[in-house]
């Protein structure tokens, strides 16, 4: 072992930490000492770039916000009212120290707020699967960012801008596992999933030679992977990244191998909002801000490069 | 209705085989274990009696599902990782052994006390007395309760589905996920379970009649 090696790494890490602290006083710096340089500074980098991405996010030219539209109303109010959650790690999670929401959904919501009002000011209204459509229809929220899957059924009640992200079944393995990198590698392996999830069928379709075990809940599946009873755990990526965020002994590998498109809910009563959000989405996807935001949020849990964003309007219902 | 009859039948068949194997192994293990614990509970050595009583108290009062989860997810944390099937079958055998023990013990208690006294007067030891005098007479009243325990074993194997064993109920869950016909798949498994338990009930009746003249 070379003595000189850890030093530059540590120096870089603490420099990043100092930068991150001055910029944001972020909670991410707490992870710095544990990891010897690399992963710690990556976490700090992520939260640093997260704020940088928001700082350089575009603002709509005044001509794009017609008087009397929902956007004009939001601009006058100065705050975007977002339906979402504060408990979804890497999508929309409240930082207990700063009280700020961070994550992919939260970042997009802040960018949209900035695009309309010029500031990243959002107000969160907690929504659940049962209340999302209702809150959009009665005008309680301007928009919904909540890992909201686009379905034709829901599209009858609300408009969907996007899809802005393509989730789907992904793979979780033990940190030390290097044998499983994609769904093909599951053949001949023991794979577990939750007994109520249709992921069991997807595993059989994509890796017919795998052995599927059904367990009752998320924690049992994670436990089975950690204990070696199962080689991998397959379920929706949004659940897996949340698990990985809380439990560093496991990791999510590769991109989802099925398609579950997430959309941005907008009220049906204000169709101009959907068009507006679609245009904004195309803009940030073209500028690379979308990919940067993915890297700073979901990219900290998922291995590999940022995926290509799904084509806006490509899904039935969007 | 299901359109893939062959696939469905094959899947349920595999599940049924596993259920049968699990039931047979569980029941055999439970009878063997139950006999041992029952002997401990009626033997003249006080600490062994206390151990037997403790065993029954512990295993009879923990819900089987809790026991299964503890065995499947708890033991690996202690470094004991066995195949799922073996782990689940062992846990079920240990659980049902407590019930078998009580059946055996009440069967033994059903033999008049005088029989044991006569055996002792004739100079038979504890083991000889059990083997030649008590147990042959105690078996008959034990047949029906043991039949009930067999049915209990068979039906309780369905709990193994909750901890990942793909026996009959587990396969029914797979079918439900695949074809989205929960009522049909569970109706099919119900028929199989009822066939299994009715058969065992009939067998128990036969055995009881066979042993009728033993006393």
**Orientation angle between helical segments A271-287 and A289-296, nearest 10 degrees:** 80
pLDDT by residue (tens digit) across B3-26? 678 888 888 899 999 999 999 999
Q: With bands split at pLDDT 50, 70 and 90, how would you rate the model's confidence at A173?
A: very high
- Which of A87-101, A292-306, B31-45: highest mean pLDDT? B31-45
Q: How many interchain CB pairs under 8 A, A with B?
A: 44
Contact A136, A124 (CB under 8 A): no
Question: In Å, how far is B81's CA from the nearest CA of chain A?
Answer: 8
Q: Which of B18, B80, B164 to mutate to test the interface with A (most CBs of A within 10 A)?
A: B164
From chain A residues 235-264, the ones with a CB under 8 A of any chain B CB are none
pLDDT of residue A11: 40
pLDDT of residue A196: 76
pLDDT by residue (tens digit) across A56-98? 889 988 888 888 889 999 999 999 999 998 888 889 888 888 8
pLDDT of residue A52: 86
- Spatial neighbors of A86 by CB under 8 A, at least 6 apart, are A92, A93, A94, A101, A124, A126
Q: With bands split at pLDDT 50, 70 and 90, how would you rate the model's confidence at A47?
A: low
- pLDDT of residue A25 exceeding 50, the answer is no
Which of B76, B81, B162 is facing A216, going by the closest CB pair? B162
pLDDT by residue (tens digit) across B125-162? 888 998 899 888 888 889 889 999 999 999 999 999 98
pLDDT of residue A317: 80
**What mean pLDDT is predicted for residues A301-312?**
85
Least Cα distance to A232 among A247, A246, A248, A211 occurs for: A211
- Which of A174-178, A265-269, B93-97: highest mean pLDDT? B93-97
> Inter-chain contact A213–B164, Cβ cutoff 8 Å?
yes
Q: Which helix (H) or strand (E) holds B59?
A: helix B46-61
What phi and psi values does residue B62 have, to the nearest 5 degrees?
A: -100, 130
**What mean pLDDT is predicted for residues A280-286?**
92
Task: Select the more confidently predicted residue: A290 or B79.
Answer: A290
Residues of A in contact with B162 (CB under 8 A): 195, 215-216
- pLDDT of residue A34 exceeding 80, the answer is no
Q: Give dist(CA B182, CA B29) in Å, integer.
A: 33
Q: Does A200 contact B at CB distance below 8 Å?
A: yes
Which of B77, B81, B164 is facing A215, going by the closest CB pair? B164
pLDDT of residue A316: 83
pLDDT of residue B56: 96
pLDDT by residue (tens digit) across B102-111? 999 999 989 9
Contact A116, A60 (CB under 8 A): yes
Any idea where the domains of chain A sit in the sequence? Answer: 6-53, 61-167+259-300, 169-253
pLDDT by residue (tens digit) across A183-213? 999 999 999 998 877 888 889 889 999 999 9
Enumerate the β-bridge partners of residue A260: A167
Q: Which helix (H) or strand (E) holds A144?
A: strand A143-144
**What mean pLDDT is predicted for residues B183-203?**
91
Chain A residue with Cα closest to B76 = A227
Q: Which CATH architecture has domain A61-167+259-300?
A: 3-Layer(aba) Sandwich (3.40)
Which of B76, B166, B173 is facing A229, going by the closest CB pair? B76
Question: In Å, how far is B33's CA from the nearest CA of chain A?
Answer: 27
- pLDDT of residue A265 exceeding 90, the answer is yes
Q: First vs last Cα of chain B: how many Å apart?
A: 54
A58, HSE (Cβ side, Cα atoms, 13 Å): 17
Q: Give dist(CA A263, CA A165) in Å, integer.
A: 7
| Continuous H helices in chain A | 6-24, 38-55, 70-77, 104-117, 132-137, 152-155, 199-206, 218-227, 237-246, 271-287, 289-296
Which tokens hold the place of B157? 């194997």
- pLDDT of residue B37 exceeding 90, the answer is yes
> Inter-chain contact B76–A227, Cβ cutoff 8 Å?
yes
Q: Give dist(CA A182, CA A189) in Å, integer.
A: 12
Which tokens hold the place of A253? 């590998």
Least Cα distance to A36 among A58, A8, A66 occurs for: A8
Q: In CATH, what number does A169-253 get?
A: 3.40.190.10
pLDDT of residue B213: 56
Chain B residue with Cα closest to A194 = B164
**What mean pLDDT is predicted for residues B199-214?**
83
**How much of chain A exceeds pLDDT 90, in percent?**
42
CA A63-A267-A101 angle, to 5 degrees, is 85
Residue A302 has what DSSP assignment? B
Fold (topology level) of B5-213: MetI-like fold (1.10.3720)
> Inter-chain contact B84–A229, Cβ cutoff 8 Å?
yes
Q: With bands split at pLDDT 50, 70 and 90, how would you rate the model's confidence at A32?
A: very low
pLDDT of residue B140: 85
Q: Give dist(CA A271, CA A68) in Å, integer.
A: 13
What phi and psi values does residue A214 have, to the nearest 5 degrees?
A: -100, 130
Q: First vs last Cα of chain A: how many Å apart?
A: 56
**What mean pLDDT is predicted for residues B75-104?**
93
pTM of the shown model: 0.72
């Amino acid at each position: 072992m070379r003595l000189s090696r850890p030093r530059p790494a540590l120096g870089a890490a603490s420099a990043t930490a100092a930068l991150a602290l001055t910029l944001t006083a972020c909670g991410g710096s707490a992870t710095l000492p544990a990891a010897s340089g690399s992963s710690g500074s990556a976490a700090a980098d992520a939260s640093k770039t997260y704020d940088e991405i928001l700082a350089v996010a575009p603002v709509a030219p005044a001509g794009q916000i017609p008087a009397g539209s929902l956007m004009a109303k939001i601009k006058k109010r100065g705050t975007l009212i977002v339906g979402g959650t504060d408990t979804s790690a890497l999508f929309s999670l409240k930082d207990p120290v700063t009280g700020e929401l961070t994550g992919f959904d939260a970042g997009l919501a802040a960018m949209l707020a900035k695009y309309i009002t010029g500031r990243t000011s959002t107000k969160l209204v907690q929504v659940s699967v049962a209340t999302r459509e209702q809150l959009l229809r009665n005008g309680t929220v301007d928009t919904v960012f909540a890992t909201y899957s686009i379905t034709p059924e829901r599209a009858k009640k609300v408009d969907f801008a996007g899809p802005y992200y393509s989730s789907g079944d992904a793979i979780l393995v033990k940190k030390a596992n290097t044998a499983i990198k994609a769904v093909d590698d599951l053949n001949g392996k023991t794979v577990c999933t939750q007994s109520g999830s249709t992921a069991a069928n997807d595993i059989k379709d994509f890796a017919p030679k795998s052995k599927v075990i059904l367990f009752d809940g998320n924690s049992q599946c994670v436990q089975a992977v950690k204990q070696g009873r199962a080689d991998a755990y397959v379920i929706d990526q949004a659940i897996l990244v949340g698990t990985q965020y809380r439990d560093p002994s496991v990791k999510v590998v590769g991109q989802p191998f099925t398609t579950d498109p997430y959309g941005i809910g907008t009220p049906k009563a204000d169709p101009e909002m959907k068009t507006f959000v679609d245009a904004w989405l195309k803009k940030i996807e073209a500028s690379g801000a979308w990919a940067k935001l993915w890297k700073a949020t979901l990219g900290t849990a998922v291995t590999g490069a940022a995926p290509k964003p799904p084509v806006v309007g490509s899904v039935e219902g969007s | 209705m299901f359109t893939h009859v062959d696939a469905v039948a094959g899947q349920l068949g595999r599940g049924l085989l596993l259920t049968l194997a699990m039931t047979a192994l569980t029941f055999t293990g439970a009878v063997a274990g139950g006999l041992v614990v029952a002997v401990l509970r009626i033997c003249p050595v006080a600490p062994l009696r206390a151990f037997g009583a403790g065993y029954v108290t512990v295993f009879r009062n923990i819900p089987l599902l809790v026991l299964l989860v503890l065995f499947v997810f708890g033991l690996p944390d202690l470094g004991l990782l066995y195949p799922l099937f073996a782990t689940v079958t062992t846990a079920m055998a240990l659980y049902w052994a407590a019930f078998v023990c009580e059946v055996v013990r009440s069967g033994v208690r059903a033999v008049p006390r005088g029989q044991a006294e006569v055996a002792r007067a004739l100079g038979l030891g504890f083991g000889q007395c059990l083997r030649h005098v008590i147990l042959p007479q105690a078996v008959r009243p034990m047949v029906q309760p043991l039949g009930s325990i067999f049915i209990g074993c068979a039906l309780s194997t369905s709990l193994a589905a909750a901890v990942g064993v793909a026996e009959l109920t587990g396969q029914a869950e797979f079918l439900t996920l695949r074809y989205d016909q929960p009522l049909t798949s569970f109706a099919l498994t119900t028929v199989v379970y009822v066939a299994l338990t009715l058969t065992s009930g009939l067998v128990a009746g036969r055995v009881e009649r066979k042993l009728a003249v033993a006393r």
